[in-house]
Structure 1
Amino acid sequence: MTDPFALFEEWLAEAREGEVNDPEAMAFASADPDGRPSVRIVLLRHVGRDGFGFFTNLDSRKGTELAANPFGALAIHWKSLRRQVRAEGRVEQVSDAVADAYFASRSRDSRIGSWASDQSRPLESRENFERRVEEMHERFESEEVPRPPRWSGFLLTPDKIEFWSDRPHRLHERRLFTRQADGNWSEGLLYP
């Protein structure tokens, strides 16, 4: 049997070589307490045997939805490679140490933007946001930009991972990996 994370890492390496734009871009879906879903594109910033990780503002729509309903789904589509990966599972916030380390790796302007943005909240005008960005530049002019308390990351620990490969005449190949109670994976095929 194939290890789904090893297979994902192979596909991601090929995507980094062959996908023209943002091979780490993924659609991430969350749902509010009533089960009403929302989806957006985020960047995959961690992959490992523990799952798939991304970072965001905790007060954003996805952050508040995950606080209320800690399950999510993701889809990564590499159009030029004619492949897709989907995963579903529980989502948990990463540790402060992990969030701090990733935040420190971001560009200074991106760190400033994290302080200036009330992500997903109504914005009166673009000028207001640009003014806030300038205020944050002034605030942190002579110091490192620390991680805002409302900014962190999430890790989706999958219980299902599907690998989709395009085939002629829509006779696609779909491989589904399902995590078993003992933590091991079973593998099967799905009809296209």
Structure 2
Amino acid sequence: MNPLLLFEKWLSEEKEQNNLKLPAACCLSTIGLDGYPNSRFVSLKEIKNQSFVLTGPLDSRKGREIKNHSKAALSFWWTCTERQIRIQGDVSEIPKPDAEIYFKQRNRDSKIVSTIFEQGREIQDIPYMQKLFEEKKAALGNKDVGQPKNWGGIYIKPIRIEFMEFKTSRLHERRLFEQTSNGWKMTILQP
């Protein structure tokens, strides 16, 4: 069985039962520049080329961490279906034409924020940040918002995916898929 197809099935089932604003929200964990794990929530764009696609500024902390150590983990927790998925994989940059497509799909305010700010860097204060945003928005008027040079995306090509279904009996069902030279190998784990 291809675990990426199972992932898409589970995501679809969660979307059917839940009206979450961000159904594809997930926790991305990287290895920090200081050696400590670092996690944050991001939004999965899609599965493409047998990989999970994420986008954003490539010079942000997460981008620098990934460039330094091209391995990452994703975790999904879905409350309606009571399922968890954990993914570990190797990271590579998506092609620039694909990044352009993803950037064009963003809402206008998100595009503007990406052109003004350096994600995760210090700023004077919140009113100053809001002022910069409003000034840029006014200056742009109805003009198209161009993609910044630092904005792109990554593939996380999974080497390991664990699916867990929570059960009231506490006999949680856990299936681990690991990539081998012969394809995916599935094992059942104890709860």
What is the TM-score with the length of structure 1 in the denominator?
Answer: 0.93
Equivalence for 2:12: 13
Equivalence for 2:53: 53
Q: Residue 76 in 1 paired to residue 76 in 2?
A: yes
On the 8 A contact 1:24/1:44 being kept in 2, the answer is yes
Q: Residue 106 in 1 paired to residue 106 in 2?
A: yes
Question: 1:134 Cα shift?
Answer: 2.1
Residue type of the partner of 1:137?
K
Equivalence for 1:188: 187
Question: 1:42 Cα shift?
Answer: 0.3
Question: 1:103 Cα shift?
Answer: 0.4
**Percent of aligned pairs with the same residue?**
34
Question: 1:38 Cα shift?
Answer: 0.4
On the 8 A contact 1:53/1:155 being kept in 2, the answer is yes
Mapped to 2, the partners of 1:6 and 1:113 lie a distance apart of 34
Equivalence for 1:136: 136
What secondary structure sits across from 1:80 in the alignment? coil
Question: 1:11 Cα shift?
Answer: 0.5
Q: CA separation of 1:91/1:62 partners in 2, compared to 1, >3 Å: closer, same or farther?
A: same
The CA deviation string for residues 80-125 of structure 1, in whole angstroms up to 9 with x for no partner, is 2110111001111111111100100111111111112211111210
Q: CA separation of 1:113/1:177 partners in 2, compared to 1, >3 Å: closer, same or farther?
A: same
Question: 1:17 Cα shift?
Answer: 1.1
Question: 1:44 Cα shift?
Answer: 0.6
Q: Residue 88 in 1 paired to residue 70 in 2?
A: no
What secondary structure sits across from 2:42 in the alignment? strand
User: Is there any run of 5+ residues in structure 2 with no aligned partner, and where?
Assistant: none
What secondary structure sits across from 1:120 in the alignment? coil
Mapped to 2, the partners of 1:25 and 1:51 lie a distance apart of 16
Equivalence for 1:4: 3
Residue type of the partner of 1:77?
W
What secondary structure sits across from 1:123 in the alignment? coil
Residue type of the partner of 1:55?
T
Residue type of the partner of 2:175?
R
On the 8 A contact 2:73/2:86 being kept in 1, the answer is yes
Mapped to 1, the partners of 2:69 and 2:138 lie a distance apart of 38
The list of structure 1 runs, each at least 4 consecutive aligned residues, that deviate by more than 4 angstroms after superposition, is none
Residue type of the partner of 2:41?
I
On the 8 A contact 1:20/1:80 being kept in 2, the answer is no
Mapped to 2, the partners of 1:139 and 1:187 lie a distance apart of 55
Mapped to 1, the partners of 2:112 and 2:153 lie a distance apart of 17
Residue type of the partner of 1:166?
F
On the 8 A contact 2:4/2:50 being kept in 1, the answer is no
What is the total number of aligned residue pairs between the two structures? 190
User: Is there any run of 5+ residues in structure 1 with no aligned partner, and where?
Assistant: none
